[in-house]
């Protein structure tokens, strides 16, 4: 179905006034988005870079609406899931926000110079690398869960609930839900209202993405931690700071045990 802008290659995105209202089109001077289709490899990272580069080159300011999912899909020749993944990452980082029935809007300036680089993990030493990151995650995630319990809003609860329900659904269907699990934790980080939390976790995400489906060829990785995610969510909703810390530590303890057991 065509959106209000018509065919992607016949539209131009018009910069709104700062504080932005509706996105308007220039009927007299329509141009295609200045974006190129992407090769199959490294698609998510490439889409992220392309979108950030487009935002910077287009001079979009906070309050302006960014291209729609459909426009990005067609301009970059990628699927909806890839575009949604990237927009979800930008939202978790506090760069954009989605307004129901209106679109996705830029919240703060961004450029390729300010986008963080993902961590890199040597597959030959992945066990040690995963265990090392747990040292970082304990301090980071425990505090994030505590802050989320203190600061969460009704909108945060709705976001966390949506991510948790998807994680539970995928887990029950497939027996594992690595990417959905991460999305749930990202929603907790977002609920801290400190943009550094999702930024730091996002750096870890790409490094471990290839291990999410079946780490060490074991689809039951961290399965025992599954019930604790619902308990963690309930603790955050109840603003129970200490219980949120406790459930986060329980999840990480199981993850550590499974990494050690599965790599022996």
Quick one: 148 and 234 in the same domain? yes
Tokens of 248: 């986060």
Question: Is there a domain that residue 115 lies in?
Answer: no
In three-state secondary structure terms, 131 is helix
Q: Residue 167: name the closest of 180, 185, 149 by CA.
A: 180
Question: Is there a domain that residue 116 lies in?
Answer: no
Cβ count within 10 A of residue 106: 21
Quick one: 136 and 90 in the same domain? no
For residue 222, the domain's CATH number is: 1.20.120.530
Where does a domain end: 75, 106, 137? Answer: 106
Query: In sequence order, what are the residues at sequence separation of 6 or more whose Cβ sits closer than 8 angstroms to the Cβ of residue 36?
Result: 50, 76
The Cα 48–Cα 105 span in angstroms is 16
| Per-residue model confidence (pLDDT) at position 137 | 81
The Cα 1–Cα 112 span in angstroms is 32
- pTM score, whole prediction: 0.57
Structural domain range at position 17:
8-106
Q: How many domains does the chain have?
A: 2
Quick one: 252 and 129 in the same domain? yes
Q: What does pLDDT average to in each consecutive run of 10 residues of the chain (264 residues)?
A: 38 40 45 66 78 90 93 91 86 82 88 60 66 83 96 96 93 80 89 87 61 53 81 98 96 85 62
Question: Is there a domain that residue 112 lies in?
Answer: no
CA distances from 81 to 43, 84, 85, 119, 177 (A): 11, 5, 6, 23, 16
Quick one: 134 and 244 in the same domain? yes
Do 250 and 188 meet the contact criterion of CB atoms below 8 Å apart? no
């Amino acid at each position: 179905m065509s959106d209000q802008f018509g065919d992607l290659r016949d539209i131009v995105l018009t910069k709104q006034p700062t504080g932005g209202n509706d996105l308007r089109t220039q009927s007299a001077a329509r141009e295609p988005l200045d974006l190129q289709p992407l090769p199959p490899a490294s698609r998510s990272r490439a889409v992220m870079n392309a979108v950030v580069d487009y935002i910077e080159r287009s001079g979009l300011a906070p309050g302006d609406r960014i291209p729609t999912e459909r426009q990005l899909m067609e301009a970059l020749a990628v699927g909806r899931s890839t575009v949604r993944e990237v927009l979800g990452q930008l939202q978790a980082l506090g760069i954009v926000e989605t307004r129901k029935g209106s679109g996705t809007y830029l919240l703060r300036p961004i450029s390729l110079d300010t986008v963080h680089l993902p961590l890199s993990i040597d597959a030959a030493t992945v066990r040690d690398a995963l265990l090392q990151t747990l040292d970082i995650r304990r301090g980071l995630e425990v505090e994030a869960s505590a802050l989320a319990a203190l600061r969460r809003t009704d909108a945060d609860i709705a976001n966390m609930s949506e991510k948790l329900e998807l994680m539970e659904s995928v887990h029950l269907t497939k027996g594992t839900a690595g990417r959905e699990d991460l999305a749930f934790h990202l929603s907790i980080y977002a609920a801290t209202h400190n943009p550094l939390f999702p930024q730091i976790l996002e750096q870890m995400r790409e490094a471990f993405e290839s291990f999410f489906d079946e780490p060490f060829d074991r689809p039951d990785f961290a399965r025992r931690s599954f019930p604790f995610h619902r308990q963690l969510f309930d603790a955050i909703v109840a603003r129970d700071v200490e219980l949120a810390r406790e459930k986060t530590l329980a999840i990480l303890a199981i993850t550590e045990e499974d990494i050690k057991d599965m790599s022996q």
